[in-house]
Chain A
């Protein structure tokens, strides 16, 4: 514990304003966040180090990084599922200590309950939070229509393909109408074509619903295609290496994938990620990349 306090007492100089969008107030505000795990063998693992990030309302931010860089940990901390070790995290101005109702989470795997129909699965969060049944039922049906599963509401998850299951999970994440949606590699298990289709769908859902979305991925094209900004993270301990603005116009289409700017941004990020992987391991205490 002494170590943690020591870290907190000695803040690094971070250019604070580079993440700030002056026009809207931030949906999520993270400053100097550190996360240290204690493993079962009682060893300390420094998972996240000095993360500062501000996400504006209605913004779509994507996070890329090598596996094990702590990006899932960061998302779980934002979701209130894990405590942070030091630093500060605010959602719409308030500190987070437990899961919030205005945050929806979509996990890596769909995690649908196999004994519930698709509709019942989508309704689960509304049921748990005790929202009025009629309203949430109508909303769940709307969401299923939006993700193209209107005809499948009475099917069981086992009867659905992976892509359909993940779309049901996205509907479930949105059923309580959260202002913020956190997504942890939601399309990682899908084949390339389904994945592109899901990216297009997600962009449409985001534009129609006006949510703030933070999406974690290890696909660079996916990060660039979806994000207003791409946060690039370093390997463990996870730091923010760079935040890349994506000035591509919306709505982005499959043609965007062939756009010169898209290609340049993707290869820039790729080069950055590779250089981090090579350069980093020797100097642990060094500054930001």
Chain B
């Protein structure tokens, strides 16, 4: 804080003093302050915007209505057909089952295909072509084949989560640095050691990026499957609320669906931080690098 007059501006800094409180938080973890602030501002704008502009509640309910609907749904009994717990449980189990089965199958097949160059050369074009098809369009047929119960949703989710893992694991195995392979050859490694000690760990960043994608697809698959034909689940709840113009209810279910997505993503992130601690992109597995 010198008040001396300089002929030229001098770029200087006082001895840095430790900052505390909110300023410290803003400096070290700005997202902890800024993200919630944004949310509060948006909710306020939404709340008062809807009231001032006199938007009908069946078009866009104010967030307070959504909160009330959410509370009502959660307050109902766990096995109540009108409450959220039962439907959430159904959807969550579809998501988890489908995700685990589908992505495991994709990973295993992608791994096997990648190990033999002839098989990879034969199949990879077709698999990548199938990857780009909108598999969700098959949902009605799958419900027709497997019925209104859990199975059809799990099959749809399997189909959706299979390909990200297949394609990403193949890309991951293809991207293994040739220097690492050469090193393993030079020290006399056999194929098995090559796989476990170098190829698989090297492919892990790609595999986790695939899992992240698959997690999103899994929730999409569950909801679409339930739209097409089901007796229970959050998708069913959305359809019935929509039919009765309960827009606030629909929004509140949407919150639950987002929470399922966030939960899956969070679990994957925790695992990937442990597995990919070395990769530099461990914080965000599909970031495009530094």
Contact = CB atoms under 8 A, between A and B. Distances in A.
Contacts, number: 49
A111 interface: yes
Interface residue tally of chain B, by bracket?
A: 10 to 19
A113 B280 CA distance: 13
B278 A111 contact: no
| Binding site secondary structure of chain A | loop
B182 A101 contact: no
A107 to B, nearest CB: 7
B198 A99 contact: no
B187 A99 contact: yes
Contacts of B186: 79, 81, 99, 105
25 contacts: A79-B186, A81-B182, A98-B188, A99-B185, A99-B188, A100-B188, A101-B188, A105-B183, A105-B186, A107-B182, A109-B179, A111-B179, A111-B180, A111-B183, A113-B201, A114-B278, A115-B278, A125-B187, A128-B184, A128-B187, A128-B188, A128-B189, A128-B193, A156-B278, A176-B187
A39 interface: no
B181 to A, nearest CB: 10
Chain B residues touching A, majority SS: helix
Interface string A93-122: 000001111000101010101110000000
User: Which of B183, B184, B185, B187: most chain A CB closer than 10 A?
Assistant: B187
Contacts of A100: 188
B214 to A, nearest CB: 23
A105 B279 CA distance: 25
A128 B278 contact: no
Interface string B40-73: 0000000000000000000000000000000000
Interface string A119-148: 000001101110000000000000000000
Interface of B: 177, 179-180, 182-189, 193, 197-198, 201, 277-280
Nearest to B202: A113
A143 to B, nearest CB: 15
A111 B176 CA distance: 12
A210 interface: no
